[in-house]
Amino acid sequence: MYGKHLYVISLYLLRQLIGPFILIMISLIGIVWLAQSLRFIELIVTRGLTFGLFLNLTILIIPKLTASIIPFVAYLSATIAFLKLSSESEIIAMSSAGISNFRIILAPSIFGFLLVIISFILDSHVAPVSMNKFKDLQNNIRDKYISSLFQEKVFSSPVSGVTVFVREIDKYGTLRGILIHDSRDPKKTYTVIAESAKIEKTPEGPYFSAINGNRQEINYENLSISLLYFDQYSYGIKNITNQEEKRFREASERTTYELFNPHEKLSELHQKEFMAEAHQRLISLLIIMAMIILGTITSLVGEFDRRISLKKLTYSAFTAVSLQLYVIATIPLIIKSTEIIPLLYAIPIIVIIIFLLLLFDKKIKMVSLISIKKNR
């Protein structure tokens, strides 16, 4: 019978946690998604990108965004749920019925474990695939909507090694006062300056059709400089070689298995970046459990008092922010020194143990208090 009551209470607590979690998650994703979307709205209004491309770009960032905010949302949902239960004296009622804090924390632990599984799937598989598609789509936009990448009086780099500056873009899409600096060839550097230019799309790729200007070339082999004045000049912005290079997938675009077992040869820096990304994903799983327990014990530890509760809430929020910053800091720390990896795992485990000991400590104090009263 007691087991049935415990099951009902755990189910009730899970419902109390899931509601705030979904509400906060949707709200935060909506806010951040809207902030990210604002970067692309100008491209639709002034540069001709389709609404379909806009939706694709913004939707593909959601999995990575969701995975990154799960730890803090877990903390917020647990804190809000248990503060509500505490303010309505439901926690006191459970304690009076003989239900210990460890029984109460069972439901948040199950909820945290479910979030760990969801986060692992998102971080290890869904987010890397969506980020890879996002980067591929960005490259396609560079080719198909190359003119949308240029802004007035801003230096931009549509292709690695090429820098473009445009003084003005008129309503017909003509680029006026244009400078193109091309350093893709290690043996030669080209600089084109023209009064105006248009983007011409061909099967071979996009070209600048420049009018009234000059082309400067610096040859590093024979240390010579040549200058050519032109009335009209076509300048391709594809790679110099005819073979299209396969785009290198960054750490955020690879599954956790790929990060630990890369197929290609990598530089030392890329190896460290891959290792850092992989370990950050795993460490964040421990942080989720720490966050959910932290949010729960904020209401369970100590006596209920409004002033003390505010103080506890401040300490709790500070700890949660510190844990979130800890996750962010793991990548640069691992890149700097891989020897620190065991310590980075140990810290969240120790934090979880400390949080649980706080509950255990309260239980000892309660038992001691009851014993003293009986002796009297």
pTM equals 0.73
**Same domain assignment for residues 132 and 189:** no
**Same domain assignment for residues 111 and 170:** no
User: Has residue 190 been placed in a domain?
Assistant: yes
**Same domain assignment for residues 225 and 297:** no
Residue 1's pLDDT band (boundaries 50, 70, 90)? very low
Whole-angstrom Cα distance, residue 31 to residue 159? 31
Secondary structure (DSSP) of 290-320: HHHHHHHHHHHSS---HHHHHHHHHHHHHHH
User: Has residue 155 been placed in a domain?
Assistant: no
**Same domain assignment for residues 185 and 269:** no
Q: What is the predicted pLDDT for the residue at 367?
A: 39
Average pLDDT, integer, range 337-362: 88
Q: What is the predicted pLDDT for the residue at 303?
A: 61
Does residue 343 or residue 197 have the better pLDDT?
343
Q: What is the predicted pLDDT for the residue at 275?
A: 93
**Same domain assignment for residues 225 and 262:** no
| Residue ending a domain, choose from 183, 202, 236 | 236
For residue 28, which phi and psi values (nearest 5 degrees)? -65, -45
**Same domain assignment for residues 138 and 267:** yes
Lowest mean pLDDT among 39-53, 90-104, 150-164, 291-305: 39-53
**Same domain assignment for residues 85 and 31:** yes
Q: What angle do CA 71, 76, 78 make, to 5 degrees?
A: 95
Whole-angstrom Cα distance, residue 42 to residue 148? 9
Domain that holds residue 183: 160-236
Residue 302's pLDDT band (boundaries 50, 70, 90)? low
**Same domain assignment for residues 284 and 136:** yes
User: Has residue 83 been placed in a domain?
Assistant: yes
Does residue 159 or residue 287 have the better pLDDT?
287
User: Has residue 153 been placed in a domain?
Assistant: no
| Residue ending a domain, choose from 202, 236, 270 | 236
User: Has residue 244 been placed in a domain?
Assistant: no
**Same domain assignment for residues 172 and 42:** no
**Same domain assignment for residues 258 and 129:** yes
| Residue ending a domain, choose from 236, 265, 298 | 236
> What three-state secondary structure class fits 158?
coil
What total of structural domains would you count in the chain?
2
User: Has residue 135 been placed in a domain?
Assistant: yes
**Same domain assignment for residues 175 and 306:** no
245-251 own/partner pairs: CB under 8 Å, 24+ apart: 247/135, 247/136, 247/139, 249/132, 249/135, 250/135, 251/276, 251/277, 251/278
Average pLDDT, integer, range 166-176: 82
Residue 375: pLDDT over 60? no
* pLDDT single digits (tens) 18-31: 999 999 999 999 88
> What three-state secondary structure class fits 249?
coil
**Same domain assignment for residues 60 and 112:** yes
User: Has residue 100 been placed in a domain?
Assistant: yes
